[in-house]
Amino acid sequence: MKRIIVAGGGAAGFMSAFHAKRPDTEVTVLEAQEKPGKKLLATGSGKCNLTYASREPVLSYRGTGQDFTEAALQTFDQERTVQFFEELGMLMHEKNGGVYPYTDQAQTVQTLFLDVLRERGVKIKTRERIIDILPQKKGGFFVKTEGWQYEADVVILACGSKAAQTLGGCEDGYHLAEKLGHPVTEIVPALVPLKTKEAAFHALAGLRSPAKVTLFLDGKKAAESEGELQWTSYGISGIVVFQVSRFAALGLLEKKNVQISLNLLPQVNRQHLLAIYQKQTNKKAEHLLSGIFPQKLAALLLKQTGYKAGEILQEESFLEILSLVSDLRLTVTGTRSFEYAQVCAGGIDTAFVNAKTMESKKVPGLYFAGEILDVDGACGGYNLQWAWSSGYLAGYYAANDQKGQVEQNA
């Protein structure tokens, strides 16, 4: 019997354990927390956006190797993910470009996975924090936890990232990999709110605005996104901000000048606004702006542009205000901490991992899966899809010695 240890009982650990379990393999998942899949339960605000809806995958992944993700995402693609969960017995539906369990409960994904893993004979041991993985001269490993030592022929490292510590996020995986000779790239929070310098805008906390967000690093456009922005007491948040946040975090790390340009009227035609302006008999500044923006924002914009309530806005002044709201500049001073990040940018350097099998190029018999790797996806099901795709490859190849084509029905 080939003994396979899966280090970490999260999304990638579940997927790799499922595919590693064969009649000729013994698979044990070691999970540090009291329950496996804690982070999975929190995904998609508890609803679990388990993949993206498009059948034409938009490869929104970043990390050291730009094409590292390709083999995994092509082998176990979005369609295959949906098929896999259907075979697990799960009904799904599509919402806002994402795929969710029909129950809209992440718990459905966790329960089905745990049921099927147990049914297959995968052992899941909780409160088993791995503290060391020692390769043996004769091949195989000793896997040391805080209270025990296991022997394994193969180890799949799926300890996740440092994001969201209360949900099991930690640095253990990076340290274990480093001890095994695997370099880890700089880790920064990603899919995370941003702190901004302009305190006047902090007063808008609680307000939401449609916005196109463009990120500039030392004056150069680095990323953009469009959606609903959330104003907060420290800066800006919402998916639209998350999408550009990893670039902001890396820019800050490199001591670059990080600026956000907000277009607060992204879908609105300027001519249309002018036509509305021209129709008004009351051209007082506060009246004109209150028809376009929420009260609090209208008042702030007025203040920012130096106009006063009661002042009559000439067409040029109205146009001046429109120019400001189509390129409102904010200075990014930081990201919120790892605790508030959905994922991390950075992780195990993929240059030393075989993209087709997820096996280490340094330590034979050691595999990786999920967010522990230096791969981060956009918001919208991309990170769980990476956990499923990489977990599949790691599990499949951990169980199979031949390093050829992946069987389609494996």
CA quadruple 227, 228, 231, 237: dihedral sign: negative
Q: How far is CA 402 from CA 270, 397, 398, 407, in A?
A: 62, 8, 10, 11
Query: What part of residues 14-43 is at the interface with ligand FAD (CB under 6 A)?
Result: 30-33, 38-40, 42-43
Side-chain-side CA neighbours of residue 244 (13 Å): 32
Q: Which stretch binds ligand FAD (CB under 6 A): 1-9, 111-119, 270-278, 295-303?
A: 1-9
Q: Is 342 in the site for ligand FAD (CB under 6 A)?
A: yes
Q: Is 158 in the site for ligand FAD (CB under 6 A)?
A: yes
Q: Is 133 in the site for ligand FAD (CB under 6 A)?
A: no
Query: Considering only residues 20, 27, 288, 387, which one is a binding residue for ligand FAD as defined by CB under 6 A?
Result: 387
Question: Considering beta carbons, is residue 285 or 394 the nearer one to ligand FAD?
Answer: 394
Q: Is 101 in the site for ligand FAD (CB under 6 A)?
A: no
Please give the residue whose beta carbon sits closest to ligand FAD in the complex: 10
Enumerate residues 6+ apart whose C-beta is below 8 A from 408.
none
From the CB of 14, what's the least distance to ligand FAD, in Å?
7
Q: Is 63 in the site for ligand FAD (CB under 6 A)?
A: no
Enumerate residues 6+ apart whose C-beta is below 8 A from 155.
4, 5, 6, 7, 133, 141, 143, 365, 366, 367
Query: Considering only residues 71, 155, 172, 285, which one is a binding residue for ligand FAD as defined by CB under 6 A?
Result: 172
Q: Which stretch binds ligand FAD (CB under 6 A): 164-172, 180-188, 234-242, 319-327?
A: 164-172
Tell me which residue has tokens 């941003």.
Answer: 194
Give phi and psi for 126, each to the nearest 5: -100, 170
Query: Considering only residues 17, 187, 343, 366, which one is a binding residue for ligand FAD as defined by CB under 6 A?
Result: 343
Q: Is 187 in the site for ligand FAD (CB under 6 A)?
A: no
Enumerate residues 6+ apart whose C-beta is below 8 A from 301.
289, 293, 321, 324, 325
130 token code pair: 């791995």
Q: Is 162 in the site for ligand FAD (CB under 6 A)?
A: no
Q: Is 82 in the site for ligand FAD (CB under 6 A)?
A: no
From the CB of 276, what's the least distance to ligand FAD, in Å?
38
Q: Which stretch binds ligand FAD (CB under 6 A): 255-263, 320-328, 369-377, 400-408?
A: 369-377
From the CB of 10, what's the least distance to ligand FAD, in Å?
2
Q: Is 167 in the site for ligand FAD (CB under 6 A)?
A: yes
Give all strands (DSSP E) within 118-245, no chain letters.
123-125, 130-135, 141-145, 149-152, 154-157, 188-190, 194-196, 208-217, 220-231, 235-237
70 token code pair: 């390709």
Give phi and psi for 384, each to the nearest 5: -70, -35
Q: Is 371 in the site for ligand FAD (CB under 6 A)?
A: yes
What is the Cα Rg of the chain in Å?
25
Query: Considering only residues 71, 130, 190, 375, which one is a binding residue for ligand FAD as defined by CB under 6 A?
Result: 130
Binding mask 215-254 for ligand FAD (x = CB under 6 A): ----------------------------------------
In this structure, the number of other CB atoms found within 10 A of the CB of residue 170 comes to 19
Spell out a b/e string for 288-310, using b for 16 or more CB atoms within 10 Å of the CB, else e: bbeebbeeebbbbbbeebebeee
Query: Considering only residues 382, 388, 396, 397, which one is a binding residue for ligand FAD as defined by CB under 6 A?
Result: 382
Alpha-carbon gap, residue 265 to 325, rounded angstroms: 7
Q: How far is CA 314 from CA 112, 278, 287, 288, 396, in A?
A: 63, 10, 13, 11, 69
Alpha-carbon gap, residue 397 to 379, rounded angstroms: 28
Question: Considering beta carbons, is residue 273 or 384 the nearer one to ligand FAD?
Answer: 384
From the CB of 347, what's the least distance to ligand FAD, in Å?
9
Q: Is 7 in the site for ligand FAD (CB under 6 A)?
A: yes
Q: Is 49 in the site for ligand FAD (CB under 6 A)?
A: yes
Name the residues that contact ligand FAD, by CB under 6 A: 7-13, 30-33, 38-40, 42-44, 48-49, 129-130, 158-160, 163-164, 167-168, 170, 172-173, 342-343, 370-372, 381-384, 387
